[in-house]
């Protein structure tokens, strides 16, 4: 049967995010996995299969390059474990794969865990070195992650006559949100002046427009809704889930369909998830949103691509306060990638856990009163991979 | 020069067209100014820029059957520099290609060899280029000469040549461009120049240094060198550059370097005035600066991936910029689709097409973290005629949305014993 409406999230856990020199990859994985299983009221022996999301095992000495990491970390053998990877959608892919597993009826109780150990090397030695050294020797050579999203910022600012102060307000908002998230990488508020005055990384983006490089892990336990109705202390239902992959890693920059004002992948993934979930007016129907704010400009175009506002209206939406805590559609109450951090494989799972906690009333100081429907969104690679999931209260 | 070293060879060379290209930055030199290239330019890219200007002007009629590169500053000391030049020029696979790297007199040697290789309807291209070492005193530049057919620009008579062992020849790997005793060198140059020039007035191109060379030229009644004070000494490109700069008048040049001496006499063709004016504009142009452009080394861990099988498989899309025109929607797609068109999904077959070389900036960024030593400007270009390009811009580019740009051959990065050439985005002047 389809995932939408038939698969529940019955347990969640997220480790502290940050530069965690005292914790190894397997430590983080184990903490999240065992935490989610315990949160579901289960024993590890009751979980039948696991899906692991880790995008860059090369950063941690190839730990996490296959499902073996789960077997090693929590003694999961001899059960099936598979690692999935799809750029920054890796964590959401672990959840989606686990949900497909449950929906297919192959396994009943399934673990989806995302973990990333990015700071066992320096931040410069992490994804940046990979980009510089391992990518295609001619095509798109010189591309970095901030440089790629800066292309959108330049184009967007020119097309819609927007200044960098408007972009900065995403960072200000999400850092303020993170002051209420004790798991977040950064928990200090920042000002527009600080964001605008920070050193430039890829113009017009500066350091405080960018996600940090973060260690962390998150996990959820998936089960059939029918099982959750009888056994789960509380649960969220996956109402819709969409994945869209639109183009190649290097080739997309060369293709005339790209307008550098947003991402077709997000629009396509949202269309799928919304159709399944019956979302026709996202701003009215979504109580809370976690979206992929890897850079400030990304959240602005995401809110447009997700249909929370129209094209070119992202800055207006942001500046209206609608997406801030207390607004009608709060976005990234966790602090988002901007302040909570972005351990790549963990991020999507962390978002799913966050939204599941919101619609089950367990989000603590970040709780949106009465939240019943929420959305999680990740965007991967050069924006050609996007995952959107809509979760709801039972 | 000693009689027994006279080669006795005389060549009449018809030069149909010529182009001089100099490094963009002009700094104070020992005499006047010198031209300095950007940090991502070398002898191959400058040779390519000069030659591309010629090939664009001539189209199919100028397609050469032979390509001769002369430079004492080749990027590959052990050979292999003319091949990427052939790729950049779109001649690879269909050209006799040679490189001459012995002495700064090879600019004339390239003319001699190109003339011998030119055939009716199939001209030959002689390109001489020079990229002085950072911190050196030479100028950077290239001169391309299209040889064969009608002598539109000039007719050159290449006279006797000679080679002899000389102390001034020692150029040590990693050392300065050349090592010489200035007094000895000047004396040698004078002796050779007098012998080569006979009784007539002649210009002099030599390694003796600008001041000593100018003195010898005065004794021979030469017209004075317009190139050295404007651009510095251009190595193997210096003699061809002087031929172009002086094309409007009859001229004679004695070229002597590292014990190799040659004489060339040239008479103007119908296009000489135009060629001389272009050369004069190149000499007068450039951007004044206090010091040469910085050449920061890349980050220590910068080691870009290289694969020779990859380079061979994808040579069409690399330096040749081969694209495809979709059989379904007609769009130009670069790089060519692996199978289906990325726009309409048509499975093909698609027709071969060439990506254009000019366009407008769609968006750009100055990236401070790509570890190639300095800020890297990246741009997406809407290419005239269809298709897009995305890549690095030349180091000095300051790009805004909508700016007109062209694609220029440059060094993308060095590493793994490979110089990776590719196209970069350069503002139209």
Reduced to 3 states (helix: H, G, I; strand: E, B; else coil), residue B134 is coil
pLDDT at residue B258 is higher than 70: yes
Confidence of residue B151 (pLDDT cuts 50, 70, 90): confident
User: Could you report the per-residue pLDDT of A323-372, keeping only the tens digit for each?
Assistant: 999 999 999 999 999 999 999 999 999 999 999 999 999 999 999 999 99
Q: Provide the percentage of residues in chain B whose pLDDT is more than 90.
A: 71
Cα B47 to Cα B415: distance, rounded to the nearest angstrom: 22
pLDDT digits (tens, 9 = 90+) for A150-184: 999 999 999 999 999 999 999 999 999 999 999 99
Q: Which residues neighbour A23 within 8 Å (Cβ) at sequence distance 6 or greater? A: A15, A31, A215
**pLDDT average, residue stretch A36-51:** 98
**Domains of chain A with CATH codes:** 7-123+214-236 (3.40.47.10), 136-211+240-392 (3.40.47.10)
Helical H segments across B247-398, by residue range: 272-284, 308-313
Inter-chain contact A202–B422, Cβ cutoff 8 Å?
no
Among the partner-chain residues A140, A153, A155, the one whose CB lies closest to the CB of B362 is A155
Flag if A142 and B318 touch (Cβ within 8 Å). no
Q: Are B415 and B304 spatial neighbours (Cβ–Cβ below 8 Å)?
A: yes
A279-309 residues labelled b (16+ CB within 10 A) or e (exposed): beebbebbbbbbbbbbbbbbbbbbbbbbbbb
* B343 close to A (CB below 8 A): yes
Backbone φ and ψ for B96, nearest 5 degrees, come out as -85, 120
Q: What is the pLDDT of residue B7?
A: 47
CA distance A239 to chain B (A): 31
Q: What is the pLDDT of residues B75-126, one digit of tens each?
A: 998 899 999 999 999 998 889 999 999 899 999 999 999 999 999 999 999 9
B368 touches chain A (CB under 8 A): yes
Sign for the pseudo-dihedral over CA of A221, A224, A228, A231 = negative
Mean pLDDT, rounded, for B318-347:
95
How far does the CA of residue A150 sit from the closest CA of chain B (Å)? 6
Chain B CB contacts of A158 under 8 Å are 363, 401
CA distance A4 to B183: 89
- Which DSSP helix (H) or strand (E) runs through B35? strand B33-36
Question: Which residues are within 8 A (CB) of A341 and not within 5 positions of it... i.e. 6 or more apart?
Answer: A17, A18, A184, A185, A186, A211, A212, A214, A216, A335
| β-strand pairing of B66-70 with B124-130 | parallel
Q: What is the pLDDT of residue A328?
A: 98
Residue B276: band (very low, low, confident or very high) from pLDDT cuts 50, 70, 90: very high
Residues in A touching B376 (Cβ below 8 Å) = 142, 147
Q: Cβ separation of A138 and B366 shorter than 8 Å? A: no
- Cα separation of B410 and B425, whole Å? 9
Residue-level pLDDT at B127: 98
Distance CA A117, CA A19 (A): 9
Query: In chain B, what residues touch A199 (CB-CB under 8 Å)?
Result: 368
DSSP assignment letter at B293: P
DSSP label of B337: P
Contact in structure between A140 and A289 (CB atoms under 8 Å): no
Inter-chain touch A133–B305, beta carbons under 8 Å = yes
Task: Note whether A334 and A294 are within 8 A (CB).
Answer: no
Q: What is the pLDDT of residue B2?
A: 37
Q: A253 and B388 in contact by Cβ < 8 A? A: yes
Residue B31's pLDDT is: 80
B422 touches chain A (CB under 8 A): yes
| DSSP string over A269-304 | HHHHHHHHHT-S-HHHH-SEEE---SBHHHHHHHHH
B-chain residue closest to A199, CA distance: B368
> CA–CA separation, A274 vs A305, rounded Å?
12
B389 contacts chain A (CB < 8 A): yes
Euclidean distance between CA atoms B82 and B60, whole angstroms: 21
Q: Does B312 touch chain A (CB under 8 A)?
A: no
Q: Decide if B392 and A128 are in contact by the 8 Å CB cutoff.
A: no
The CA distance from A337 to the nearest CA of chain B, in Å, is 19
Task: Tell me whether residue A177 is one of the annotated catalytic residues.
Answer: no
Among chain A residues, the shortest Cα distance to B377 is held by: A142
Contact A379, A298 (CB under 8 A): yes
**Tens-place pLDDT, residues B29-79:** 878 899 999 999 999 999 999 999 999 999 988 999 999 999 999 999 889
Task: Indicate the SS3 state at residue B214.
Answer: helix
Is the pLDDT at B174 greater than 50? The verdict is: no
Q: Check whether B176 has a pLDDT greater than 60.
A: no
Q: CA B299, A57, A351 angle in degrees (round to 5)?
A: 105
Chain A interface, mutation test: which of B320, B326, B369, most A Cβ atoms within 10 Å?
A: B369
Cβ-nearest to A137 among B306, B343, B387:
B306
**Rounded Cα gap, residues A325 and A333, in angstroms:** 7
Angle, in degrees to the nearest 10, between helices B238-245 and B272-284: 120
A201/B369 Cβ within 8 A: yes
Partner A contacted by B380 (CB < 8 A)? yes
Q: B369 and A199: CB-CB below 8 Å?
A: no
Residue of B nearest to A247 (CA): B342
- Using DSSP, state whether A187 is helix, strand or coil: coil
B401 touches chain A (CB under 8 A): yes
B387, A257 Cβ separation under 8 angstroms = no
Residue B4's pLDDT band, with cuts at 50, 70 and 90, is very low
Q: Return d(Cα B407, Cα B424) in angstroms, integer.
A: 5
Chain centre to alpha carbon of residue A319 = 23
- pLDDT in the model for residue B182: 62
Question: Under an 8 A CB cutoff, do B334 and A254 touch?
Answer: yes
Query: B393 vs chain A: nearest CA distance in angstroms?
Result: 10
- Residue-averaged pLDDT of chain B: 90
Scanning A176-235 for CB atoms below 8 A from B yields 199-205
Which residues of chain A make contact with B334, given a CB cutoff of 8 A? 254
Whether A138 sits inside 8 A of B422 (CB atoms) is yes
pLDDT surpasses 80 at A25: yes
Q: Which of A130, A138, A255 to mutate to test the interface with B (most CBs of B within 10 A)?
A: A138
- Res. A74: pLDDT tops 90: yes
Number of neighbouring beta carbons within 10 Å of residue A227: 17
B151 phi-psi bin (left φ>0, alpha ψ -120 to 50, beta other): beta
Q: Is A256 an interface residue toward B (CB < 8 Å)?
A: yes
Instruction: For residue B307, list chain A residues with Cβ-Cβ distance below 8 A.
Output: 137
Contacting residues of B for A133, CB less than 8 Å apart? 301-305
The Cα–Cα gap between B287 and B305 comes to 35
Q: Which residues contact A366 (CB under 8 A, 6 or more apart)?
A: A177, A180, A181, A325, A333, A334, A358
* A256 to B331: CB separation less than 8 angstroms, yes or no: yes
- Mean pLDDT lowest among A101-110, A277-286, B130-139: B130-139
Interface with chain B: mutation pick from A254, A262, A297, highest number of B CBs within 10 Å:
A254
Task: Please identify which of the residues A175, A177, A342, A377 carries the catalytic annotation.
Answer: A342
pLDDT recorded at residue A129: 78
A200 interaction partners in chain B (CB closer than 8 Å): 366, 368
Nearest to B70 by CA among B57, B56, B51: B51
Q: How far apart are CA B161 and CA B149, in angstroms?
A: 25
Residue A239 in this model has a pLDDT that exceeds 50: yes
Judging contacts by C-beta atoms under 8 Å, the chain B residues touching residue A140 are 390-391
Instruction: Give residue B349's pLDDT band: very low, low, confident or very high (50, 70, 90).
Output: very high
Residues of A in contact with B368 (CB under 8 A): 199-203
pLDDT at residue B172 in the model: 45
Q: Does residue A326 sit at the B interface (CB-CB below 8 Å)?
A: no
Q: Is A134 exposed, middle or buried (0-12, 13-18, 19+ CB in 10 A)?
A: exposed
pLDDT (mean) for B341-369:
95
Q: Is B309 on the interface with A (CB under 8 A)?
A: no
pLDDT at residue A191 is higher than 90: yes
- The answer to whether B303 faces chain A, any CB pair under 8 Å, is yes
> Is the pLDDT score of B171 beyond 50?
no
**Residue B6 has what pLDDT?**
44
Q: Report in angstroms the alpha-carbon separations of A147 from A116, A153, B344, B366, B368.
A: 22, 10, 28, 8, 9
Using CB atoms, pick whichever of A128, A150, A256 lies closest to residue B343.
A256
**Strand spans (E) along B275-350:** 287-288, 322-325, 332-333
- Any catalytic annotation for residue A342? yes
Report percent pLDDT > 70 for chain B.
93
Give me the mean pLDDT over the A194-217 stretch.
98
A161 in contact with chain B, both atoms CB, cutoff 8 A:
no
Q: Nearest CA to A207 among A110, A317, A295, A138?
A: A295
Q: Å from A12 to nearest chain B CA? A: 36
Cβ under 8 Å to A: B residues 147-166: none
The Cα B231–Cα B282 span in angstroms is 9
Instruction: Determine whether the interchain pair A141/B335 forms a contact, defined as Cβ–Cβ distance below 8 Å.
Output: no
pTM passes above 0.80: yes
Question: If you average pLDDT over every residue of chain A, what do you get?
Answer: 96
Q: Is the CB of A125 inside 8 Å of chain B's CB atoms?
A: yes
pLDDT for res B29: 83
Q: B308: which chain A residues are within 8 Å (Cβ-Cβ)?
A: none
Q: Count how many pairs of residues, chain A against chain B, have C-beta atoms within 8 Å.
A: 137
When comparing pLDDT for A275 and B212, which is higher? Answer: A275
pLDDT range class, residue B168, cuts 50, 70, 90: low
């Amino acid at each position: 049967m389809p995932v939408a409406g038939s698969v529940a999230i019955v347990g969640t856990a997220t480790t502290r995010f940050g530069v965690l020199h005292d914790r190894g990859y397997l430590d983080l994985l184990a903490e999240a996995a065992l935490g989610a299983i315990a949160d579901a009221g289960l024993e590890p022996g009751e979980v039948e299969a696991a899906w692991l999301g880790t995008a860059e095992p090369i950063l941690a000495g190839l730990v996490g390059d296959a499902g073996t990491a789960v077997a090693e970390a929590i003694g999961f053998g001899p059960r099936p474990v598979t690692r999935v990877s799809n750029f920054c959608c890796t964590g959401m892919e672990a959840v989606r794969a686990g949900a497909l597993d449950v929906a297919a009826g192959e396994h009943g109780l399934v673990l989806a865990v995302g973990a990333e150990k990015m700071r066992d090397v320096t931040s410069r030695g992490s994804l940046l070195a990979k980009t510089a050294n391992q990518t295609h020797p001619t095509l798109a050579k010189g591309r970095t992650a901030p440089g790629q999203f800066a292309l959108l910022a330049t184009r967007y600012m020119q097309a819609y006559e927007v200044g960098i102060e408007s972009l900065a307000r995403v960072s200000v908002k999400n850092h303020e949100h993170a002051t209420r998230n004790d798991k977040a990488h950064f928990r200090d508020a920042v000002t527009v002046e600080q964001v605008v005055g920070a050193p430039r990384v890829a113009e017009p983006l500066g350091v405080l427009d960018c996600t940090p490089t973060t260690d962390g892990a998150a996990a959820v336990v998936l089960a059939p809704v029918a099982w959750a109705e009888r056994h789960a202390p509380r649960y969220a239902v996956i109402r819709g889930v969409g994945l869209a992959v639109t183009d190649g890693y290097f080739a997309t920059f060369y293709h005339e369909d790209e307008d550098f004002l947003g991402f077709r992948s997000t629009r396509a993934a949202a269309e799928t998830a919304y159709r399944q979930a019956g979302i026709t007016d996202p701003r009215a129907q979504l109580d809370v949103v976690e979206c992929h704010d890897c850079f400030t400009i990304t959240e602005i175009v995401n809110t447009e691509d997700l249909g929370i506002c129209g094209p070119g209206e992202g800055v207006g939406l942001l500046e209206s306060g609608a997406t801030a805590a207390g607004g009608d559609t709060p976005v990234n109450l966790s602090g988002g990638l901007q302040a909570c951090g972005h351990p790549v494989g963990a991020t999507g799972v962390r978002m799913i856990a966050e939204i599941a906690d919101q619609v089950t009333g367990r989000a603590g100081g970040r709780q949106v009163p009465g939240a019943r429907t929420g959305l999680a969104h990740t965007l991967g690679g050069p924006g050609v991979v996007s995952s959107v999931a809509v979760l709801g209260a039972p | 020069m000693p009689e027994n070293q006279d080669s006795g060879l005389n060549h009449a060379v018809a030069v149909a067209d010529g182009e001089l290209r100099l490094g963009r930055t002009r700094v104070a030199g020992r005499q006047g100014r010198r031209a300095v290239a950007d940090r991502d330019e070398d002898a191959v890219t400058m040779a390519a820029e000069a030659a591309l200007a010629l090939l664009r002007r001539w189209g199919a009629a100028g397609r050469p059957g032979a390509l001769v590169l002369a430079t004492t500053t080749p990027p590959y000391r052990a050979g292999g520099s003319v091949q990427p030049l052939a790729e950049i020029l779109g001649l690879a696979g269909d050209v006799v290609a040679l490189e001459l790297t012995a002495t700064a007199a090879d600019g004339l040697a390239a003319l001699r060899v190109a003339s011998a290789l030119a055939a009716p309807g199939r001209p030959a291209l002689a390109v001489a280029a020079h990229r002085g070492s950072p911190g050196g005193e030479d100028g950077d530049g290239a001169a391309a000469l299209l040889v064969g057919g009608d002598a539109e620009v000039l007719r050159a008579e290449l006279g006797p040549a000679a080679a002899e062992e000389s102390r001034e020849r020692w150029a040590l790997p990693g050392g300065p461009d050349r090592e010489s005793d200035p007094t000895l060198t000047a004396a040698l140059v004078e002796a050779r120049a007098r012998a080569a020039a006979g009784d007539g007035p002649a210009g002099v191109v030599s390694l003796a240094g600008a001041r000593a060379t100018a003195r010898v030229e005065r004794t021979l009644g030469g017209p004075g060198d317009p190139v050295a004070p404007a651009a510095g000494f251009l190595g193997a490109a210096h003699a061809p550059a002087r031929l172009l700069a002086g094309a409007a008048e009859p001229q004679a040049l004695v070229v002597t370097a590292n014990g190799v001496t040659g004489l060339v006499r040239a008479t103007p063709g119908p296009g000489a005035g135009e060629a001389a004016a272009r050369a004069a504009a190149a000499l007068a142009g450039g951007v004044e600066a206090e010091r040469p452009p910085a050449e920061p080394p890349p980050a220590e861990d910068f080691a870009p991936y290289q694969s020779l099988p990859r380079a061979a498989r994808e040579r069409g899309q690399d330096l040749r910029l081969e694209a495809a025109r979709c059989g379904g929607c007609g769009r130009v797609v670069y790089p060519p689709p692996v199978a289906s068109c990325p726009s309409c999904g048509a499975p093909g077959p698609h027709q071969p097409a060439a990506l254009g070389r000019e366009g407008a900036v769609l968006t750009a960024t100055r990236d401070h973290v790509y570890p190639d030593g300095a800020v890297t400007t990246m741009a997406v270009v809407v290419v005239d005629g269809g298709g897009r390009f995305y890549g690095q811009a030349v180091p000095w580019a300051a790009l805004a949305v909508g700016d007109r740009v062209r694609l220029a051959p440059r060094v993308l990065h060095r590493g793994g014993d490979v110089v990776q050439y590719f196209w970069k985005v350069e503002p139209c002047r």
